[in-house]
Amino acid sequence: MKEELTCITCPLGCRLVAERGEDGSLAVSGNRCPRGAAYAREELLAPKRVVTATCRIAPASGTRRDEAAPRRVPVKTSAPFPKERVPELLAEIYRLELALPVARGAVLLADALGSGVDLVATRSVE
C-alpha cells in the first residue's frame, strides 16, 4: 500500500511516498534528508507534534508591571509529543500560572503527562 505524505520536519516540506511491504516493512522515498524517512515511519505508526502555546502569568503582588510588557509566556515541548494526547497537554498548560521572572529554557512541566517530554519556556519574561 502506498501513502503520500508531506514531511513537516522542516519548512522545506518534502513530498514523501511511503510504501508498506507485505512483511510490514516501510520503504520511504522523496525525502531530501534522513529525517524525512524517520518522519514518515513515525507519522504512520505513532504521530507526534511539537506543541507550542502560551501560559498565564500569576498576578503580581505590589509593583505593577509595565503596560507594554508581555502578558503571556510562550512555551514549547522540548521534543515532539504524542499527537493524540495534545488536548490533555494543552489543558495542563492552561492550568499553569507562572511566577515571574521566567527564564528562557526553564522547565515548567517536567516529564509532561509521563511522556518523557518537558514543557519549557521559550522567552525570558521579567
Partner 1 sequence: MRELRYDAVVVGGGAAGMAAALALDSRGKSCAVVDREPSLGGILLQCVHNGFGLIEFDEELTGPEFAERFAARLADSRIATFLGATVLEIAEEGEEKLVFCVSPSLGGLRIRARAVVLAMGCRERNRGNIRIPGTRPAGVYTAGLAQRLVNIEGYVPGKDVVVVGSGDIGLIMARRMSWIGCKVHAAVEILPYPSGLARNIVQCLRDFSIPLYLSHLTTSVYGRDRVEGVEVAPIEDGALQPEKSFRIPCDTVLLSVGLVPENELSKGAGIELNPTTGGPIVDSTLMTSRGGIFACGNVLHVHDLVDYVAEEARRAGLFAADWLEGRRPRKELRVKVGPNLRYVAPGKVDPSRENKLYMRTMIVKNEALFEARLDNAVVKSVKKAHIQPSEMLSLSLGPAELERARPDSMLELSIQ
Q: How many residues bind partner 1 (CB under 8 A)?
A: 32
CA gyration radius, the chain: 19
In the complex, minimum distance from the CB of residue 23 to partner 1, in angstroms, rounded to a whole number: 28
Quote the CA–CA distance of 42 and 89 in Å, as a whole number: 20
Site for partner 1 in 9-38 (CB under 8 A): 9-11, 13, 15
- What is the DSSP pairing of strand 2-6 with strand 15-20? antiparallel
Contact window for partner 1 (CB under 8 A) among 19-27, 62-70, 106-114: 62-70
Is residue 95 a contact residue for partner 1 (CB under 8 A)? no
Opening angle at CA 82, ends 114 and 122, nearest 5:
80
Is residue 78 a contact residue for partner 1 (CB under 8 A)? no
- What is the DSSP pairing of strand 119-121 with strand 72-77? antiparallel
Residues near partner 1 (CB under 8 A): 5-11, 13, 15, 49-54, 56, 66, 68-72, 74-76, 83, 86, 90, 104, 122-124
